[in-house]
Amino acid sequence: TATPEFQTLVYTCSDDPFPTSLHWVMFVPNILTLCDAEQQSRWLPLCRDWKMIGCYAQTELGHGSNIRALETTATFLKGGVDGAAEG
């Protein structure tokens, strides 16, 4: 059982009261969408049984890990296939 001090530390360091939420909300879905069947059969049971705990991190120069503040633009290139994304 977590002590009250530990719970306070968790709430202070994170706006997520369950620090393992990223494992289920970001990490596992990326395995499901980016891995083929063979990779999924290897990694998903480990995730399910807590033998592998993952998280998700993304950063962009000038924004740190604040994904909501990412700035991107899309520029249409005439004669291009689908345009081009610029960050």
Regions of the chain with pLDDT less than 50: 83, 85-87
pLDDT at residue 54, as a whole number:
86
pLDDT at residue 85, as a whole number:
47
Give dist(CA 28, CA 36) in Å, integer.
13
Q: What is the pTM of this model?
A: 0.49
List, in order, residues 6 or more apart from 17 with CB less than 8 Å away.
10, 11
pLDDT digits (tens, 9 = 90+) for 61-84: 666 666 667 677 777 777 655 545
Can you list the alpha helix ranges (DSSP code H) found in the chain?
4-13, 21-22, 28-34, 37-48
